[in-house]
Structure 1
Amino acid sequence: MAGGVYDVVDEPLLLTEEELAGLRGEPVAPSLLSTRRVLPLEDEPSSVVQRYLFPTEKFRGEWRRHWIELGREIVIGVVATLIMGYATGYMARHNVPTGVSIVILVWLAVLFVLGWRVCDWWFDRFILTNKRVMVVSGIVTRKVAMMPLLRVTDMKYVQSPLGRILKYGTFELESAGQDQALRKVENLPNPNELYLRIVEEMYEPEAVEARLGRVTESEFDDDGT
């Protein structure tokens, strides 16, 4: 403002398509269809998971455990490689070819075990459907643990300080029954998002269907909204 006169600065007004439609008086679908409180899901389960779902079950998502699950294996692999390098160099300088061969064979054996553990982690999945939660694990011997969502009476997740930094946590599920095949699942990624997804599936299944775009306009018209 200078000398009692206001300076007007023209700035572009940015509006979304929904807001423009509202200003024009056009009908706007409920915001539930466009609002994403959690990340989008895959449309179809992977081949690892699909065999464990029955036809009328609605797939909601699958998750591998956080890479921190392999923290010990990563440390062992790095340490074993450093030791192998030092040992082979030492024996080569002292002309002990047999020792070099033995060290390399031991190192390869360690890498094989670690590789097997990585494959086990790759095929280990936490699965959510509209009816249950499951954990599928194992390569040669497959293990499938499940709990119906209707039987879940309490659920929480715990994050350590490191888990908050790296975004992983441990889920604990309580059910009405005494015997629980699935009670504690450790090192799941993005636990807050996963927690909200499970709770939404338990208490607001219609909201899940709408958010995934499976509610048609006729269904909204029938409700009068």
Structure 2
Amino acid sequence: MGQPPGEPPEPDDDERRQRDRDTEPIPRVRPDDGLGRPDGPDGPSFPDDGGYPTGSGYPGEDRSGRAWVREPETAYQPPQFTEDELAGLRVDASGLPSGPRRVLPLEDEPSSLVARYLFPTERYRGEWKRHWIHLATPLLVGIAATFVLGYLSGFLAGQDVGALTTVAVLAWFVVMGWVAWKVADWWYDRFILTNKRVMVVNGIITRKVAMMPLARVTDMKYEQSPTGRALNYGTFVLESAGQDQALREIKNLPNPNELYLRVVEEMYEPQAVEARLGKEADEAKADDGA
């Protein structure tokens, strides 16, 4: 029969069979697991994402069907923890950590010098004077003045010049008065921590109070020189989001590592601080009752 005009010619049998083979779906072949297990209906099932087979006890899978990744030539080893690492994870019956305490104990009440700067709803966490190294320069000046002016007074007294001797003695009193002023200023200088802010209060006649809310602290660090590491003091640097900072650098603070942990805990784990305070208060009441 002739082919109607305008229609393509029908393919022969060879072309039809070739086209059917090209369009035939490719069956999914399950690879051998390397253990000689038969690949049949009861064999392992492979996920579509190309991961490990599940539900068959394959290497790389526990009994729950969850796969873990391991090196081909090594067996799976669970993570190992030391007793020191686990000590910080253990908790007591109240849910509080039972490991060693890494922060300084909290004070109960603020001193009269600090209490006037706290508002009623603020929780007091502690106050610290600067390290005694803060007085190193005044004390060295006082010691040097005592030796120098003492020797000079004795020398002038032997020369029978009473007016100069009096001047030397008066100069020594002036230097000692300046040293006493520095010591008093150190005594009234306090670094204060509450649950809302950090403060520095200093000055004897002219009182200065600088503060920074904990919510505004974006970064905090402390620095220790070799001398600071030997004598256990450091300088704290606080960064905040604002440009004009009333409190940024606090020098010569004692126990910088413990104090750093105290401030960071108050910033990020205030609930832990409250829980520890409540536990200590309960223990104190139990001791009083006993």
TM-score w.r.t. length of structure 1: 0.80
Pick which of 84-93 and 193-202 moved more. Answer: 84-93
SS at match of 2:278: coil
- Deviating runs (4+, > 6 A) in structure 1? none
Deviation at 1:215, TM superposition (A): 8.5
SS at match of 1:60: strand
Aligned to 1:187: 252
Judging by fraction of residues, say which structure has more helix: 1
Q: Does residue 215 of structure 2 align to residue 150 of structure 1?
A: yes
Aligned to 1:212: 277
SS at match of 1:156: strand
Q: Does residue 110 of structure 2 align to residue 45 of structure 1?
A: yes
Q: Note if contact 2:96-2:276 (Cα within 8 Å) is conserved in structure 1.
A: no
Residue ranges of structure 2 left out of the alignment (5+ in a row): 1-91, 283-290
Deviation at 1:34, TM superposition (A): 8.0
Report which structure shows greater RCO (CA 8 Å, sep ≥6).
1
Residue ranges of structure 1 left out of the alignment (5+ in a row): 1-26, 218-225
SS at match of 1:212: helix
Q: Distance in 1 between matches of 2:214 and 2:110?
A: 19
Q: Does residue 232 of structure 2 align to residue 197 of structure 1?
A: no
Aligned to 1:162: 227
Q: Deviations over 1:29-57 (max 9, x none)?
A: 33437853212122000011000000000
Q: Note if contact 1:32-1:211 (Cα within 8 Å) is conserved in structure 2.
A: no
Pick the aligned partner of 2:138 from 73, 95, 109. Answer: 73
SS at match of 1:213: helix
Aligned to 2:127: 62
SS at match of 1:187: strand
CA RMSD of the aligned region, Å? 1.8
Paired amino acid for 1:87: L
Task: Say which one has the larger Rg.
Answer: 2
Task: Label 1:81 to 1:210 Cα distance change in 2 as closer, same or farther (>3 A).
Answer: same
SS at match of 1:54: coil
Aligned to 2:64: none
Q: Note if contact 2:200-2:210 (Cα within 8 Å) is conserved in structure 1.
A: yes
Aligned to 1:129: 194
Paired amino acid for 1:72: T
